[in-house]
Structure 1
Amino acid sequence: MPQHTPDQLEELAPLAQLPLLKRLAARVFGSGLSRLRAQHAASWLHGQADGFRSGHSAGVDYGFKEGHAEGLEEGRQVLFISDTRPQELRAPGIDDHLFDDWRLPLSADLKKQIKADVAALLPEYAQPSAAQWKMIFSDTPSTSVVAGAGAGKSTSLVLRILLLTHYLGFELSSMTVVTFTRESRKDFIAKLQDIFALWGRTLSLKEARDVVRTFHSRILPMVRSLPGYSQLQAFETLSTRSLLNDDEGDSNPFDLRINDAQRQQLNACYHGLYTASERFREAVAPLCRHALQLKELERDHPDVQKRMAVTELASKRDEELCDTLEDLWFAAGAWPIQGIEPSREVLQINGALFHCHGYIPQLDAWVVLGFDARENPQITRPGARLAVRAEWAVKRTLFRAFCDKPLIWLENYEAAKRVVASLAGDASAGPGFDYRLKGELGSAPLLDCFVAAASFIENLGLDVCAAVGDMRFAKDDPDRFFFEALSLYWRALEDHLLAQSPPVMTYNRMFSLFGENTPQNFKLLSHEQLRPLSHLMIDEFQDVSPQIVSWLRASLREIRSRGPAMHVGRGAQRSSLLCVGDDWQSIYGWRGSSPQYFIAFNKEFPSPATTRVMLSDNFRSHQHIIDAAEHIVRAAPSIAGKRAKASGEPKALEPVKVMSRDVEDLVARLTEHYNAGDRILMLYRKSSDKLLIEKDIQSIVNVDSSLPPEDRRLKQLTYHSSKGLQADVVFLLGDCQHLTSSPYKNQVYRMAGLGKEGDPEPYDSAQKDEILRLAYVGITRAVQHCYWYLESSEAQGPNVPKASDRIPGDKAFFEDQRVAQTS
């Protein structure tokens, strides 16, 4: 066969590519040549090329298909490899759960048996509802129970303990029920003993007390188990009682009153620090001057406007007034005062000249002597029309409004003695003056202010000295010096208390020893010390503080990390947490508590599985009481889906009656209900309200107080103190208002991560919500009747956020009589 070059092949164009006439001619000549059996080289070459191309293509396709199929089959018979490895290689994740992934072993038969026993042994009114059974039978490691007012949670908690011990064989020593106060602990212990007795188990008082605890009574033995601290005493319970009294840890966590034993330690520490530390003395000096300095009065104040008119007359008689006052002080042995230079400095007040009595170089402040209340108020200067006391009052008002120099007005002889002690450096009795932090409603002794501010900071889980270092104040703000002094004092106080014999420690410091920032300290605890925290049940969980939450989480992590070795030979294995609360009843934010840990329970206490229970039945109040309280509080952030319904015996619906303050009306209604045999709660916001009303109801108070405690039907309490109580009739005296802004609490709130992100005043915002919750607590104490007496809007002040702003005018559950009373 002749060979052809590629160039020759390329010259052979296919027939289909020729023009039409040439194609027809080629077909005619081609057929003739075929009959003659003649060969045309070019045509032959063209055909050969076409055949080569088509044959090669078909051969390749056929060969690939056949060969691929045969090869694939042969390969499968040997080994088939599939690469399923991920393209991105990742490290293992972190298990941050506080619990193992386990469930309580509750079979259907066991649940049926328990329900039958409860039906047989408990009276009909105490039978659990479906939601309460869900709480009792929760089998997940963590459980949050939203229990509104009057939900009957205590019986359900006792039945939960009965389930764990009597039916599942868990040891009582493996569990702790936490209540917040000594009173609630006492009530729960009694109920626990009563119900266990129905199941044939006699629970001794000691056994019950070992289970039912306050947070304080649980942390104290943990710290006492440490070497050298077996006799440790809590600062909050310092007294003449036995150091190891079992009740020592039952202090009210919200009681800030300082007793004599505590004050003795506070003063001793202050004296030592004031003597030794120049920096501390320098920080205290501006506090003393600010505290003693005469407080300013706005010039448009009515008293100022009234007394401005006699400025000239008061100026003319001022020197004689000074002579008279100095004579009174000298006769009382209170003048002159060491540390005060007697100096009649002349000051210009509202364009006229007045005199001071002296000058204090140490404080760079001028001194004016006041009129002691123990002197005869009728004392008059010769020829004067006004009494000395009245002349002094005019001068004081003018100085408050127009004096532009630092001025200390010594109100009485006792105030002078405290100043003398402070100036002389005699700090053995403490600083000797009161102080008022911005945002607080009143002043208090300086060391009391130190304790309150430090406790608030520590309750938020912060270190006092570290928090102070992160605070910021204006250069001339006296609170800046307050917190510098606090930082120095608090460190000295903790060292001073530990140096006592036996050593003393605050509860907050105890909790911080076993918090999330100090997990290594748990290694010092035995299994026996930790085991009671294995199965925790906490009541009133909405009132926990960040400090307590840190301790709880750290304890649960340690228990889990110890694993099965901690539970060898015991029926109770692993750990669990059941928390009962009502975020609408969180009213202790001013002490550092926050409902956010209950609202965001799943986030704050991570668990493989959590049960959420809503106890919506209210066995205390009728629906109007419930709806009125919920209407007030619903504007505050809360757990979604909450709405209570009245249960139990139907009661007549009575609206919450809102009235203007009227003592006669209140006394008449209270007397009527008391004579009808009702139990009554009278709740007040200010102690002055109690004093004002008590004299008008003294006859009823006298009758009631003569009865045995269990028969008394009238209680007078603050709104805060009433939580957990109930009465047929509730009288509410006063509104729930947000009156002040606290710069330092807003700062430490942000440090603790509380409040909404970006909120410059998170503490103030939280308090505006809390006043709504406080009103909710007050209203929901009522079983049948609730009367709310309010001051007029003018008396409350303009633009003051208050709970009564939420009272609607068109709802059946409120009856607002204020309009009718004023018309």
Structure 2
Amino acid sequence: MAQHTPDLPPELRPLSEMPWFKRLAARFFGHGLTRLRAQHRASWLHGQADGFRSGHTAGVDYGYKEGKLEGLEEGRQVLLIRDSRSTEHRPPSVDNHLFDDWRLPLSAELKKRMKADVASLLPAHAQPSVAQWKMIFSDTPSTSVIAGAGAGKSTTLVLRILLLVHYLGFELDSMTVVTFTRESRKDFINKLIELFGLWGRALGQKQARELVRTFHSRILPMVRSLPGFERLQAFENLSQRPPGGDEDVDSNPFDLRINDVQRQQLNACYHRLFTEDERFRELIQPLSRHALQLKELELDHPDVQKRVAVTELAAKRDEELCDVIEDLWFRAGAWPIKGIEPNRQVFEINGSRFHSHGYIPSLDAWVVLGFDPRENPQVCRPNAKLSVRAEWAVKRTLFQAFCRKPLIWIDSYESSKRVLASLAGDASAGPGFDYKVKGELASAPLLDCFVAAAGFIENLGLDVPDAVGRMSFSKDDPDRFFFEALSLFWRAFEDHLLDQKPPVMTYNRMFALFSEHSPENLKLLGDELLRPMSHLMIDEFQDVSPQIVSWIRASLAEIRSRGPAMHVGRGAQRSSLLCVGDDWQSIYGWRGSSPSYFMEFNKEFSSPSTTRVMLSDNYRSNQHIIDAAEHVVRAAPAIPGKKAKASGADRPLQPVNVLERDDQALAERLAEHYRKGDSILMLYRKSSDKSLIEQHIHHVVNVDSSLPYESRRLKQLTYHSAKGLQADAVFLLGDCQHLTSSPYKNQVYRMAGLGKTGDSEPYDSAQKDEILRLAYVGITRAVSHCYWYVEPQDAQAVNMPRASDRVAKDKAFFVDHRPPQKSA
């Protein structure tokens, strides 16, 4: 539609441009005049036609002349502009990088000078390889270093620090080296001081400790800088000794043990919540009943199969057995128990009659008294062939397999005190019962279970109450009550800790305060607290958790946002991240760690450019040990292209020997290596195995423990604790096996975005891979000899994967001594 000329008088403008009221009046009067024939329609039409012709001709002529002159001039400019731009609309892209686009100023001359210094100051065997020099001289903002077992990464990392400080003039307070444990921190500090000394730079213990940190010791000063938190203490560091000092913030992130001071805080919060919160009390009751109840046994369990045949015989002697055990409890002053009615009840087991000792009205549960372990195990009933302890064990097995009534089996006089406290509603000493969350290997005190579950959820970067609110369980699953109780308790516990004087906070809460979920909190930090995060070097990066990753990313993003002003007048500019790790040695998934952040490094830490280094030389083990360990772990997803080769001293090839479990034979072979002067690592999976083997190797233990600590050649550790260590001969006791399924961990794994899309059990899948990595860690501790003692497959875990399933009989690097019918 043609538009009107802007300078027309109002009376000649189109009707549609008149105000609404005038438009209405004009239409009304126009229709009226037409009906009255007050206008001559033919004359009007002729006039309109004549006017249109003459006006159109004049208008076209005038418009053409004027338009041509103006259009040509303006058209030149319009055409030139349109030729130089795209017709497509594109908004500017978002820069999500954590780093500026910059390079470390490394000239050819500087590299040559450092290489010459290293050649003259370090011995021949300590000279860096080509790959190690690539790590040292990486000039990009981010660097990932895949360093397999025995790759010599520590010396290389120290040389990287030397480059930054000695050759490039970076200040020590612009960087942080992160190690995971107190022990690894001490070792690295000593190596750093030693190498700096060779270059004529005196580095004191205090300076070195400021530089080499655990994550915990770096986050605590950040929180303490906030108003009101100057004297904040970490819950994990609470102990009997007075707070303060550097060691105070040097806890082991993988140590889950709860000490007495921490337990006092947990119990105090529990007592208050139990007293004040009716819903919390309601939730504790079914947990208490479930925890105290006798656990069921499957009918095909070997103990059930063995003892079901004597059911009738056991029933005949049961009343007498009840009398004997009741007398033992009475003499010990442990019976009767207040809150338990001492009324016997008859139970039918496979058509035979057995008895209980009492009834608990508040729990609607029957009670059977057990044989206290402190009593003489040889005690017998008159004329009985079996001991009371053995008869009691038969009865217990039958009740576990066939009794479906709520039944509490009190095992000891000591445990009866906890039951008594629980029945009396005395919450001042804590819940007074153990609990076993589905998927965990063993039961533990309820509050310990709360701490472990909350720690796992928070390590994944999730909030406990929020995560619990997104979980689901079947109606009768006691874990449903456990996690609702955890949600109430954890919120109350964090408030309880903050109310202490001085205030207390968990490390997970500290990291959450400065994570990507709370970037505004980082704005409150002064430059001096953020500057040490500018140039981060992190060892053992495969064991990092989602919570830590979020804190690192948030810190780097804040440093970049502050720009050059943060580094004015300093040698160290901008920021960088160098991470060293080995996804094959990621063995802390049960605590919430994940190797995915290292495997997907470029995606997780966005950078304009990244250097990737593969350290493939192994300076520790012979090639057979390397190949055997890699053969086991290759079934797990990994960074592609990994293959280690033995370097350094030529060592005779010794295969990994896989043997059936025989503690006496193990002890003899261990003693033989000790006599030869070898260093020895004795690694076990279960603490009970350590006790069993010590009965056979006590002579070696006694001799070795009498020596000065630095001269000792025998160490007994769990597989997990041995990471970073090595020995001439390594003895592995026990298989690496995934034994359970964890419904709650699978749920929170999915919430955290871990695992493969569509995997309904992502945590369990991750654990099946982790058992292979754990075996890899164990085997690669060996320099020359590795002996792996494996138990026969447990009938109860026949479908559960085992690392020893990967032992290959047709490979030279394995020798499988197990009988053929029992081999993997």
Calculate the TM-score normalised by the size of structure 2: 0.88
Per-residue CA deviation, residues 551-591 of structure 1 (Å, 9 max, x unaligned), is 00000000000111111111111100000001110010011
Q: Is the 8 A contact 1:622 1:646 kept in 2?
A: yes
Name 1:756's counterpart in structure 2: 756
CA distance in 2: counterparts of 1:783 and 1:776, whole angstroms? 14
In the aligned structure 1, how far is the partner of 2:426 from the partner of 2:412? 20
Per-residue deviation at 1:123? 1.4
Alignment-derived partner of residue 668 in structure 1: 668
Which residue number in structure 1 is paired with residue 12 of structure 2? none
Between stretches 790-799 and 432-441, larger displacement belongs to 790-799
Task: Kindly provide the amino acid, as one letter, of the partner of residue 581 in structure 2.
Answer: G
Alignment of 1:798-813 (within 5 A): 798-813=798-813
Deviations 1:788-813 (A, max 9, x none): 11112357841220111111111111
Give the drift of 1:714. Answer: 1.0
Give the match for residue 369 of structure 2. Answer: 369
DSSP 3-state at the match of 1:732: strand
Q: 2:792–2:822: 8 Å Cα contact kept in structure 1?
A: no
> Does the 8 Å contact 2:104/2:140 carry over to 1?
yes
Q: May I ask how many residue pairs the two structures share in their alignment?
A: 752
Q: How does 1:20-99 map to 2 (within 5 A)?
A: 82-99=82-99
TM-score (normalised: structure 1): 0.88
Matched, 1:438 2:407: no
Q: Deviations over 1:502-553 (max 9, x none)?
A: 1111110110000000001111110001000000000000000000000000
Asked which structure has the greater CA Rg, the reply is 1
CA distance in 2, matches of 1:225, 1:405: 57
For the Cα contact (< 8 Å) 2:741–2:764, is it kept in 1?
Answer: yes
Q: Indicate conservation of the 8 Å contact 1:321/1:388, yes or no.
A: yes
Give 1:373 deviation, angstroms.
Answer: 3.2
CA distance in 2, matches of 1:311, 1:782: 51
Output the CA distance in 1 between the equivalents of 2:76 and 2:356. Answer: 111
1:767-806 matches, cutoff 5 A: 767-794=767-794, 797-806=797-806
What is the letter of the counterpart of residue 636 of structure 2? A
Structure 1 equivalent of residue 33 of structure 2 = none
Cα distance, 1:317 vs structure 2:
4.7
**Measured at CA, do residues 604 and 375 of structure 1 come closer, stay the same or move farther in structure 2, by a change above 3 Å?**
same
Equivalent runs, 1:410-559 vs 2, <5 Å: 410-559=410-559
Structure-2 change in CA distance of 1:107 and 1:751 (3 Å):
same
Call closer, same or farther: CA 1:96–1:81 in 2, change over 3 Å.
Answer: closer
8 Å contact from structure 2 (residues 667, 696) kept in 1: yes
CA shift, 1:639, in A, is 0.6
Query: What is the deviation of 1:659?
Result: 1.4
> What is the CA distance between 1:210 and its match in structure 2?
0.3
Query: Which runs of structure 2 are paired with 1:628-639 in the superposition (5 Å)?
Result: 628-639=628-639
Structure 1 residue 324: Cα displacement:
4.1
Deviation at 1:80, TM superposition (A): 5.3
Residue matched to 1:263: 263
Contact 2:301 2:796 in 1 (8 A): no
Change (3 A) 1:351 1:808: same
Q: Which residue of 1 aligns with 2:659?
A: 659
Q: Distance in 1 between matches of 2:780 and 2:382?
A: 63
What SS is found at the alignment partner of 1:818?
coil
Tell me the residue number matched to 1:128: 128
Structure 1 match to 2:705: 705
Equivalent residue letter for 1:638: A
Q: Distance in 2 between matches of 1:731 and 1:327?
A: 48
User: After the TM superposition, which of the residue ranges 248-257 and 83-92 deviates more from structure 2?
Assistant: 83-92
| Match in the other structure for 1:589 | 589
Contact kept? 1:660, 1:821, Cα under 8 Å: no
Q: What is residue 101 of structure 2 aligned with on the other side?
A: 101
In structure 2, C-alpha distance between the alignment counterparts of 1:682 and 1:328, rounded to whole Å: 42
Distance in 1 of aligned mates of 2:116 and 2:383: 94
The CA distance in 2 between the partners of 1:137 and 1:339, in whole Å, is: 73
Q: Is the 8 A contact 1:459 1:547 kept in 2?
A: yes
Separation in 1, partners of 2:790, 2:376: 39
**Partner Cα distance (2:275, 2:297) in 1:** 36
Q: Percent identity?
A: 78
SS in 1 for 2:437: coil
C-alpha displacement at 1:386, in angstroms?
5.5
Aligned residue identity for 2:299: R
Matched, 1:563 2:568: no
User: Who is 1:142 aligned against?
Assistant: 142
CA distance in 1, matches of 2:415, 2:712: 43
Q: CA–CA distance in 1 between the matches of 2:81 and 2:271?
A: 83
C-alpha separation between the residues in 2 aligned to 1:94 and 1:228?
A: 37
Secondary structure at the counterpart of residue 341 of structure 1: coil
**Following TM superposition, by how much is the alpha carbon of 1:676 offset from its aligned partner in structure 2, in angstroms?**
1.3
Preserved contact between residue 193 and residue 202 of structure 1 (Cα < 8 Å): yes
Residue 460 (structure 1) shift = 0.5
Letter in 2 for 1:527: D
Aligned counterpart, 2:4: none
Structure 2 counterpart of 1:261, which letter? V
Between the aligned partners of 1:196 and 1:551, the Cα distance in structure 2 is 30
Instruction: Determine the structure 2 residue equivalent to 1:605.
Output: 605
- How far apart in 1 are the matches of 2:478 and 2:688? 30
Is residue 151–residue 616 contact of structure 2 (8 Å, CA) maintained in 1?
yes
Aligned equivalent of 2:620 = 620
Q: Partner of 1:359: helix, strand, or coil?
A: strand
SS in 2 for 1:793: coil
The answer to whether the 8 Å contact 1:368/1:408 transfers is yes
1:350 and 1:398 in contact (8 A); partners too: no
Name the SS of the counterpart of 1:241 in structure 2.
Answer: coil
- Residue pair 2:739, 2:797 contacting (<8 A) in 1 also: no
Q: Verify: 1:349 aligned to 2:349, yes or no.
A: yes
Q: How far did 1:707 drift?
A: 1.1
Contact 2:178–2:537 (CA under 8 A) maintained in structure 1: yes
Deviation (angstroms), 1:328? 3.5
- Output the amino acid matched with 1:656: V
Change (3 A) 1:527 1:324: same
Q: Relative to structure 2, which stretch is displaced further, 196-205 or 291-300?
A: 291-300
User: Aligned in 2, Cα 1:523/1:668: closer, same or farther, shift over 3 Å?
Assistant: same
> How do residues 709-720 of structure 1 correspond to structure 2 at under 5 angstroms?
709-720=709-720
The residue correspondences of 1:134-533 to structure 2 (distance < 5 A) are 134-377=134-377, 388-533=388-533
Are 1:419 and 1:432, in contact at CA under 8 Å, matched by a contact in 2?
Answer: yes
Deviation at 1:77, TM superposition (A): 13
Q: Counterparts of 1:109-124 in structure 2 under 5 Å?
A: 109-124=109-124
Query: Could you tell me how far apart the structure 1 residues matched to 2:768 and 2:663 are?
Result: 28
| Residue 308 (structure 1) shift | 3.8
Amino acid across the alignment from 2:575:
S
Deviation at 1:693, TM superposition (A): 1.5
- Specify whether residues 652 and 289 from structure 1 end up closer, same or farther in structure 2 by C-alpha distance, changes over 3 A only: same
By how many angstroms is 1:316 displaced?
Answer: 4.7
Cα separation, 2, equivalents of 1:390 and 1:328: 15
SS in 2 for 1:524: coil
Task: Report if the CA contact (8 A) 1:231-1:243 is conserved.
Answer: no
Deviation at 1:112, TM superposition (A): 0.9
Identify the residue that residue 25 of structure 1 maps to in structure 2.
Answer: none
Tell me: CA distance 1:608–1:397, structure 2 relative to 1, closer, same or farther (3 Å). Answer: same
Query: 1:359 and 1:683, CA in 2 relative to 1: closer, same or farther beyond 3 A?
Result: same
Cα deviation 1:686-720 (Å, max 9, x = unaligned): 12222121121111111111111111111111111
Question: Are residues 795 and 474 of structure 1, via their aligned partners in 2, closer, same or farther at CA, if it must alter by over 3 Å?
Answer: closer
Instruction: State the distance in 2 between where 1:672 and 1:356 align.
Output: 54
SS of the residue 2:550 aligns to: helix
In structure 1, give the amino acid aligned to 2:468: V
**Are 1:318 and 1:355, in contact at CA under 8 Å, matched by a contact in 2?**
yes
d(CA) in 2 for partners of 1:651, 1:314: 62
Q: Which runs of 5+ in 2 are unaligned?
A: 1-71
Query: Structure 2: how far apart are the matches of 1:693 and 1:821?
Result: 26
CA drift of 1:131 comes to 0.7
**Shift of residue 632, structure 1, vs aligned partner:** 0.8
Alignment gaps of 5+ in structure 1: 1-71
Amino acid at match of 1:250: D
Which secondary structure does the structure 1 equivalent of 2:83 belong to?
coil
Letter of the aligned partner of 1:277 in structure 2? D
What is the aligned partner in structure 1 of residue 34 from structure 2?
A: none
